[in-house]
Amino acid sequence: MALTNNKHVLDWVDEMIALTKPDQVVWIDGSEEQLDDLRRQAEETKEMIKLNQEKLPGCYLHRTAVNDVARVEHRTFICSRKEENAGPTNNWMDPKEAYDKLGKLFDGSMKGRTAYIIPYSMGPIGSPFSKAGVEITDSIYVVLNMAIMTRMGKEVFTALGDSNDFVRGLHSKAQLDEENRYICHFPEDNTIWSINSGYGGNVLLGKKCFALRIASYQGKQEGWMAEHMLILGLENPQGEVKYIAAAFPSACGKTNLAMLIPPEVYKKQGYKVWCVGDDIAWLRIGPDGRLWAVNPENGFFGVAPGTNEKSNPNALASTRQGTIFTNVVHNLDDNTVWWEGLDKNPPKNALNWKGEKWDPASGEKGAHPNSRFTAPAKNCPCISPKFDSSEGVPISAIVFGGRRAKTAPLVYQSRDWENGVFVGSIMASETTAAATGAVGVVRRDPMAMLPFCGYHMGDYWAHWIEMGKKLGDKAPKIFNVNWFRTDDEGHFIWPGFGDNMRVLDWIIKRCEGKADADETPIGFVPKAEDINLEGLDFSVEQLKDILSVDKELWKAETQGIEEFYGKFGDRLPQELRNQLNTLKAKLN
């Protein structure tokens, strides 16, 4: 039974069902009864393994196909009507060609299977920030993950009414054929087609596909922003909470920062950190003229390896109930899960991520390096009381970050919004060969959006600049952090983890006009005595060292920026070209 009378939804669903030819069609209403029934079916077919319900209530283990373990960027396309609108950083396919090519693959792809029709909302249902999506899939794994990652069920159709403003997502596992695996986005059609994958990032279409690639395009058209950012709230001892949105490329400690545990000296005084979101932020200008953010997601899709009691106790706690684990080790002794970096005692009687007998002494990894947990955000001990708020939270500061051995200081503040957009546009991380101290390749990842921007990056930066003009003096202040400065032996100097709170504290003080700073060619750097080092075995001299700005390194950096900007031709906003020229002048 269809759950809606919305003609746009029904016509599209009919068309997709006619194409994929499933044996039966099930509309997902979001009820616990229906989900339980699907869990039982998935257990029977061995698609999911029910784990120890005393130790891990409501938790399951899933294994993907061995050829299907990560996002496939070379198979991900932006199918804008004009090639130039996809830009130089995206793969483009002509929409006619894409519909034709994928249409042939989808034809009959669900024969002998059930098609599940999932109505879901990115963001709290009915919030002015939120957007509806409908995903048709032949995977129970997708349904159960979407139940954790989104607000799912028939209320979404109630909120949608008879509107045509919903994202159409079609997914089929088909044959899980690597050669014919495609994830195609049609920004002008509000449509996503994904075929021949069963892995989360390629098939949970609400996540990167909708909430970043399609939403970034919608945001440009409608005057808001979809960003690859965590959102956290910093509560001071007086009970005031200030919110920060922050963007980091992968492997830069984003999830750890989102769920940060304050150092003892701050805890004692009554400081708290609240997690609003760990991955994606949708930002709009509120009625008061400030920038407000919601986390469009309802869960965490986190990387398991390395998540432990020390690195991220809050993330670990989030996984203890109602979680789906993908491609981790199955401990047969007590029917629980394990992964590298969880603790020092790997299980003796276990199956690896492929389901084969595994011996930890073999030297082979038991869990896949990109193995995952899908956990309800509500499980997180520090989840923000504003997590479900329809109006979102007001953003005081935007923070960009990367992994640089020598170039970027621990923290600096941009001179203004436009300069901040420049700072975000030149974001980079580098691979370091620690032993030789050789600095590896610098990878530019502007605003951490390189793989996720649904249109031309030059136009994306222009949209940022435009948003700044609308915000005027109510715009958040923009900062850059680098937790990864190294000494000459390649060891990290700053302790990181919870101690990053000390830097966030300074950032908030700057936003409130309560801290001073020194001007450098790249922006404002803290006075060393303004960063609270109490309770930390770290000298002011060490701090001064990682706050220093080396002009020679930055001169070399401007050459790299020049080269990167060259990719964007005349779509590069003149404002960014001016910013680069100003930086060069200041360095000289």
Annotated binding residues for substrate? 71, 199-201, 250, 370-372
The pLDDT score that the predictor gives to residue 250 is 81
pLDDT in tens, 82-115: 999 999 999 999 999 999 999 999 999 999 999 9
pLDDT value at 142 more than 60 = yes
pLDDT in tens, 564-582: 999 999 999 999 999 999 9
DSSP-assigned letter for residue 31: -
Helix 574-587 and helix 417-425, axial crossing angle in degrees, nearest 10: 90
pLDDT in tens, 388-440: 999 999 999 999 999 999 999 999 999 999 999 999 999 999 865 443 445 57
CB 216 within 8 A of CB 131: no
As to burial, measured by CB atoms within 10 angstroms (0-12 exposed, 13-18 middle, 19+ buried), residue 309 is: exposed
The pLDDT score that the predictor gives to residue 436 is 42
pLDDT in tens, 234-264: 999 999 999 999 999 987 889 999 999 999 9
Distance from C-alpha of 556 to C-alpha of 559, rounded to nearest angstrom: 5
pLDDT value at 67 more than 50 = yes
Query: What mean pLDDT is predicted for residues 16-25?
Result: 98
Annotated binding residues for Mn(2+)? 208, 228, 279
CB 295 within 8 A of CB 230: no
The SS3 assignment for 131 reads strand
Q: How confident is the model at residue 490 (pLDDT cuts 50, 70, 90)?
A: confident
Q: Which of 79, 184, 209, 252 is catalytic?
A: 252
- Per the listing, tokens 């959102």 go with 231
Annotated binding residues? 71, 199-201, 208, 228, 250-256, 279, 370-372, 403, 497-500
pLDDT value at 512 more than 60 = yes
Q: Please give the structure tokens belonging to residue 587.
A: 């360095």
Annotated binding residues for GTP? 251-256, 372, 403, 497-500
Q: Please give the structure tokens belonging to residue 434.
A: 């620690």
pLDDT in tens, 353-388: 999 999 999 999 999 999 999 999 999 999 999 999
Distance from C-alpha of 373 to C-alpha of 299, rounded to nearest angstrom: 10
- Per the listing, tokens 């922050």 go with 246
The pLDDT score that the predictor gives to residue 546 is 98
Domains of the chain in start order, with CATH, are 7-46+72-222 (3.40.449.10), 227-297+387-587 (3.90.228.20), 299-379 (2.170.8.10)
The pLDDT score that the predictor gives to residue 439 is 54
The pTM for the full model equals 0.97
φ, ψ dihedrals at 375, nearest 5° = -125, 145
Is position 252 annotated as part of the catalytic site?
yes
φ, ψ dihedrals at 157, nearest 5° = -65, -35
Residue type, 330: H
Give the percent of the chain with pLDDT over 70. Answer: 98
Query: What mean pLDDT is predicted for residues 282-307?
Result: 97
Helix (H) or strand (E) holding 49: strand 49-50
Q: Which of 108-122, 185-199, 245-259, 530-544 has the lowest mean pLDDT?
A: 245-259
Distance from C-alpha of 435 to C-alpha of 243, rounded to nearest angstrom: 39
Query: What mean pLDDT is predicted for residues 466-478?
Result: 98
The rounded mean pLDDT for the chain is 97
Q: How confident is the model at residue 1 (pLDDT cuts 50, 70, 90)?
A: confident
Distance from C-alpha of 577 to C-alpha of 588, rounded to nearest angstrom: 17
pLDDT value at 333 more than 60 = yes
pLDDT value at 347 more than 50 = yes
What is the b/e burial string over 28-59, where b = at least 16 CB atoms within 10 angstroms of the residue's CB? bbbeeebbeebbeebeeeebbbebeeeebeeb
